[in-house]
Amino acid sequence: MTSVVSNCARFAAMPLSEGGTPVAQWLPRPPMPELDLADCPGLVVVAAHPDDETLGVGGLAATLTQRGVQVDVVSASDGGAAYRDLSAFDRIRLEGRRRNEMNAAARLLGVRQPIHLGFPDGRLDEHTDTLTELLTLILLDRPGMWCAATWRGDGHPDHEAVGASAAAAAHRAGNPLLEYPMWMWHWASPGDPDVPWDRAQSVAVTRSALGRKHHAINCFRSQMEPPAPGVEPVVPPFVLRRLLAVGEVVFR
């Protein structure tokens, strides 16, 4: 199994308020081969939080379901720590809202009802052993299906923890592994030595699948809209524009 170096320090050193690497710097995107989906028997998408699966590989999921390929989604947490200083009641309410948003997005993508594991948002690195065991069981029940998880070097602690657990589970169960970056596009740059460009493959998304992805993204209003006047949303508009502009990429 390929080892990956954490990039949490790099992400922490580049706050969202600073904008990160501009879209223009990524376009045209570094050249990379296209992911061959011809032999994909099914896909298990593992997300750290509700919306990761849609923002990261929603187009891939929709493209496969349009071909009649089974796609399952697993969310490690329910995203209750998206905003700081929430009361226990408000956090539970946000978790329920985010689960509902993810379920609605899944229907639009054509994937099956998501599996919500319910680990604590923001503390996934404290539960990697248990998460690995659960993901191993899920993959053993789906022999041969590909596993796509947040990249182990993405920079967000939860993304990296989930990526590490998924990589270990895929190795144990014998399922092929794909890793999708999300926050990498914020803190890295083309040719960045901390990014495994030699393993990068682009995902060819059909036009109709891309349309499904856009509609699914709109389900996550808790993340895309300001929670209160003068407060930035969790996923600011410029972050969403950047993710859509660079398209979907996986490390294989």
* CA-only gyration radius of the chain, Å: 17
Digit-coded pLDDT (tens) for 202-235: 999 999 999 999 999 999 999 999 887 878 899 9
Q: Cα(35)–Cα(60) distance, rounded to whole angstroms?
A: 10
pLDDT given for residue 228 in this prediction: 78
Percent of the chain residues past pLDDT 90, beyond the cut:
86
Q: Please list, in sequence order, all residues whose beta carbon lies within 8 angstroms of the beta carbon of residue 78, skipping any fewer than 6 positions away.
A: 49, 50, 95, 96, 98, 99, 116, 118, 121
pLDDT 10s digits, 94-153: 999 999 999 999 999 999 999 999 999 999 999 999 999 999 999 999 999 999 999 999
Average pLDDT, the chain: 95
Residue 120 is predicted with a pLDDT of 95
Percentage of the chain beyond pLDDT 70 is: 100
**pLDDT exceeds cutoff 90 at 248:** yes
Residue range 25-43: mean pLDDT, rounded: 94
| Distance, CA of 66 to CA of 70 (rounded, Å) | 10
pTM of the model: 0.96
pLDDT of residue 241 exceeding 80, the answer is yes
Least confident of 16-20, 22-26, 145-149, 169-173: 16-20
What are the structural domain ranges in the chain? 39-80+87-251
pLDDT of res. 46: 98
Q: CATH second-level architecture of 39-80+87-251? A: 3-Layer(aba) Sandwich (3.40)
Q: What is the 3-state secondary structure (H, E, C) of the chain?
A: CCCCCCCHHHHHCCCHHHCCCCHHHHCCCCCCCECCCCCCCEEEEEECCCCHHHHHHHHHHHHHHHCCCEEEEEEEECCCCCCCCCCHHHHHHHHHHHHHHHHHHHHHHCCCCCEEEEECCCCHHHCHHHHHHHHHHHHHCCCCCEEEEECCCCCCHHHHHHHHHHHHHHHHHCCCEEEECCCHHHHCCCCCCCCCHHHEEECCCCHHHHHHHHHHHCCCHHHHCCCCCCCCCCCCHHHHHHHHHHCCEEEC
pLDDT on residue 1: 73
